[in-house]
């Protein structure tokens, strides 16, 4: 199977991604001086972003992971559920949720609400991508990588039915790949 032939166009290149993690890492380093933030990675989509971003945060950070699911194929099911919860406690901690993409907003609204009940000292959201036109629930991002058009994208951690995560760029998937699956 040839991965690249399923890509319609490159939306964000490897170089642009690498530039952005440097920029966001520097901003977070500045904002969290003297603190030890917990980076909460939303699996699996945000894993590449977390590992690249964290290498540019010059602070003592810890990682924790949570997995939620709402998607099947290219359509949100509208129902968010936790499939893996955090390992550690976040009470009194400075938490930064690291997410791959903000789309309808349902996932981040759900996660934010849930984590707030655990009384962190602060809770912020860092999302690599923002698909503004697809919003159903409003969500405010504290850190954002890129605004993107309302297209289904894959690569750099993002998948279509678990594939394409290992591409080093973000690309729009050809609709022929998922048509008949909707």
DSSP of 67-127: EEEEEETTEEEEEEEEEE--SS--TT-EEEEEEEEESSSHHHHHHHHHHHTT--SEEEEEE
Per CB under 6 A, 71 contacts ligand IMP: yes
Q: Which of residues 107-136 bind ligand IMP (CB under 6 A)?
A: 107-108
Name which position in 50, 66, 96, 106 contacts ligand IMP (CB under 6 A).
106
The answer to whether 172 and 148 have CB atoms below 8 angstroms apart is: no
Part in contact with ligand IMP (CB under 6 A); list of ranges 1-9, 21-29, 31-39, 148-156? 148-156
Helix (H) or strand (E) holding 47: helix 47-54
Per CB under 6 A, 102 contacts ligand IMP: yes
Encoding tokens for residue 43? Answer: 């699996």
Q: Quick check: bond before 44 cis, omega within 30?
A: yes
Name which position in 7, 32, 39, 45 contacts Mg ion (CB under 5 A).
45
Among residues 31, 103, 133, 142, the one annotated as catalytic is: 103
Part in contact with Mg ion (CB under 5 A); list of ranges 36-44, 48-56, 78-86, 144-152? 36-44
Number of residues in the chain: 182
Part in contact with ligand IMP (CB under 6 A); list of ranges 4-12, 17-25, 48-56, 106-114? 106-114
Encoding tokens for residue 180? Answer: 């008949």
Q: Residue 46's closest CA among 78, 79, 75, 24?
A: 24
Per CB under 5 A, 145 contacts Mg ion: no
Task: Compute the least distance from the CB of residue 103 to ligand IMP, in Å.
Answer: 3
Identity of the residue, 11 or 32, whose beta carbon is nearer to ligand IMP in the bound complex? 11
What's the burial of 49, exposed, middle or buried (CB within 10 Å: 0-12/13-18/19+)?
buried
Residues that bind Mg ion (CB under 5 A): 42, 45, 100
Catalytic annotation, residues:
103
Residues that bind ligand IMP (CB under 6 A): 42, 45, 70-71, 76, 99-108, 152-154, 158
């Amino acid at each position: 199977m040839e991965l690249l032939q399923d890509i319609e166009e490159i939306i964000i290149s490897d170089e642009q991604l690498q530039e952005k993690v440097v920029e966001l890492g520097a901003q977070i380093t500045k904002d969290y001086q003297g603190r030890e933030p917990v980076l909460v990675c939303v699996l699996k989509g945000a894993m590449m972003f977390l590992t690249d971003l964290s290498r540019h945060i010059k602070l003592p950070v810890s990682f924790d992971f949570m997995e939620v699911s709402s998607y099947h194929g290219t359509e949100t099911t509208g129902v968010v559920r936790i499939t893996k919860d955090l390992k550690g406690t976040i009470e009194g901690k400075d938490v930064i949720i690291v997410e791959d993409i903000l789309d309808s907003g349902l996932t981040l609204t759900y996660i934010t609400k849930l984590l707030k009940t655990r009384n962190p000292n602060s809770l912020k959201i860092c999302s690599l991508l923002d698909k503004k036109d697809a919003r159903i629930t409003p969500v405010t991002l504290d850190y954002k990588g890129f605004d993107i058009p309302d297209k289904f994208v894959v690569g750099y951690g993002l998948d279509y039915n678990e594939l394409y995560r290992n591409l080093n760029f973000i690309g729009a998937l050809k609709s022929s790949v998922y048509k008949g699956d909707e």
